[in-house]
Amino acid sequence: MKRQAKTRAWHHRHVHDPYVRQATEQGYRSRAAFKLMEIDDRDRLLRPGMTVVDLGCAPGGWCQVAAQRLKGQGRVVGVDLLPMTGLAGVEFIQADFTEPSTVLRIHTALGGRAADLVICDMAPNISGVAMADQAKTYALAELALVFACRCLQPKGAFLVKVFQGSGFEEYIRSLRALFKQVQVRKPGASRDRSREVYLLAREIRDIDRAVALD
Q: Which residues contact 42 (CB under 8 A, 6 or more apart)?
A: 185
Q: Which of 71, 161, 180, 186 is catalytic?
A: 161
- Is 180 designated active site? no
CA distance 155 to 27: 33
Tell me which residue of 67, 69, 84, 201 sits closest to 147, measured CA to CA: 201
**Number of Cα atoms under 13 Å in the Cβ half of residue 6:** 4
Number of Cβ within a 10 Å radius of residue 163:
18
Beta bridge partners of 75: 51
Interaxial angle between packed helices 61-70 and 32-43, expressed in degrees from 0 to 180 and rounded to the nearest 10: 40
CA distance 208 to 141: 21
- The single-letter code of the amino acid at 152 is L
Cα 34–chain centre separation: 13
Tell me which residue of 122, 97, 121, 94 sits closest to 107, measured CA to CA: 97
CA distance 25 to 33: 13
Catalytic center residues: 161
